[in-house]
Amino acid sequence: MSIGAGLNQGLGYVLGFIVALVPLIALHELGHMLVAKWAGVWVPEFGIGFPPRILHLFKWQETEFTLNWLPLGGFARMEGEGVMDEQAKEATGEEDKRTPEEKEEARKHSLYTQPPGKRILIYLAGPGTNLVIGWILAILLFLIGVPVADEVRVVFSEIAPNSPAAAAGLQAGDTVLAMNGQNVVVFEDVTDSIQAHLGQPLTITVEREGEEHTVSLVPRENPPPGEGAIGVILDGEVLSSHIEPYPVPQAVRSGTQIFTTLVAQTVWLPVNLLRGLIPIQEARPIGIVNISRIAYQSIQQSAATGTLFPILNLLIVVSVGLGIFNLLPIPALDGGRILFTIIEKMRGGALTPALQERANMIAMLILLALFAAVTVLDVMFPVVLPTP
C-alpha cells in the first residue's frame, strides 16, 4: 500500500469513527444532561468532543455548550459529579472561590445531594437514550427501505455427510440453476421447493465447473438435528436488488422485532458463548479501530448503492451495544454507579468517597487494558464488510 493510499484509508477510518461513534456518545451524554436538569441537578457544561476547547457555542439556563478539539464523543459535566462530599473535593486540590451562599445553592443542585431514585434515573438516561435511538433507527431503516434481492446466484456452501444431497452427488460449491425444472432466481425458490416436496422426489439442476448436472433426491420429513431436509447450507451472491420501503405500521413492527432480537442476542451473548452455542471466533469483541473501519466501509457502500441501509444498520448495532455495555455493573460505567447507589439505599448511607474512587480507578485501569487488547486484535484481524 502506498503512503497516499494509507493516508486516505486512515482519514477514512477517522471519518468512520466520527460518523459511527461521536453522535451516539454525544446523544448518550445529552440523555444524562436532560434528565439531570429535570431532576434539579445543575449541568455547568455540555461539551461536544473533549478539551482543549475550540469555542463556546451558546448558553442555555446554567449550561454552557462548547465545541472541543478531541472528537471522542462528548460529556455532560454535572454539579458535584465526582465529589461526594467536602472530603473528596478537598482531595482534588481545587480552589473554590464561591461565596458561602453560592456554595450552599450549588450543593442543593449537586448530583450527590439528590435522592437515590433521581440519581438512578440520571444514570439510566444515557444508556436508555442509546437504546431508544437504536429502536428509532431500526424503524427508520424499514421506513426508508431495505434491500430486497431480485436475482441471486444460490450456492450449496456445505453438504452434510450421509444426507440426501450427498447421496445424490451434490457437492459444496455447486450453483443451483433449477428446482424441478423451475429456474432459481432467489433463495426462496430453493427453500420453498424443498418444503413443497418433503417425502417426494425432487430434481435439482446445478452448475459445476461450467457443466450442468441434474440429480434427483427425496427431501426428508424428519431430518437429524442441525440438518435441513436435504442436508445443505445455502450461500449466494446478490446479482440485483431494489430498495423496498415499508408502510408505517409494518415498519414499526419489523423495526421493533429487529431491535428486541438484537438486544436479546447482545444480553445473552456471554451465556451462549459459555454454552458453546456461538463459536468464540465469531464473537470476538470489536473495538474502535474495527468499528471505524466498518463505518468507513458502510459509508462507501451507501455511496455506491445510493441507500442509507449500510450506515443505519451499523448505527443500530453500535447504539444498542453502547447502551447495554454502559449498563454493566462495573465501576466507572453507568451500571456501576447504579450499583453503588442501590448499595447506598440498602445500607442507609453512601460508600466512602475513597472506596468509590478506588473502585472506579481499578475498573478504569481494567477497561483501559481491555481496550488496548481489543485494539491490538482490531489491527491484527481487520473486519471487512461483505460486498452487497
Residue boundaries of the structural domains of the chain? 11-21+114-145+245-388, 148-244
Statement: the pTM of the whole predicted model exceeds 0.85: no
Least Cα distance to 16 among 368, 378, 311, 319 occurs for 311
Band of residue 89 on the pLDDT scale cut at 50, 70, 90: very low
Q: How far is Cα 309 from Cα 385, in angstroms, rounded to an integer?
A: 13
Using 50, 70 and 90 to split pLDDT, how confident is the model at 388?
A: very low
Looking at domain 148-244, its CATH superfamily turns out to be PDZ domain (2.30.42.10)
Per-residue model confidence as pLDDT tens digits over 279-328: 555 555 555 666 666 666 677 666 666 777 888 888 898 899 899 989 98
Stretch 190-202: mean pLDDT, rounded?
Answer: 93
Question: What does 310-363 look like in DSSP terms, one character per residue?
Answer: HHHHHHHHHHHHHHHHHTSS-TTSHHHHHHHHHHHHHHTSPPPHHHHHHHHHHH
Confidence at 358, pLDDT banded by 50, 70, 90: confident
* Closest to 300 (Cα-Cα) out of 314, 286, 288: 314
Closest by CA to 47, choosing from 25, 66, 69, 21, is 66
pLDDT for 275: 63
Distance between CA atoms of residues 70 and 203, nearest Å:
62
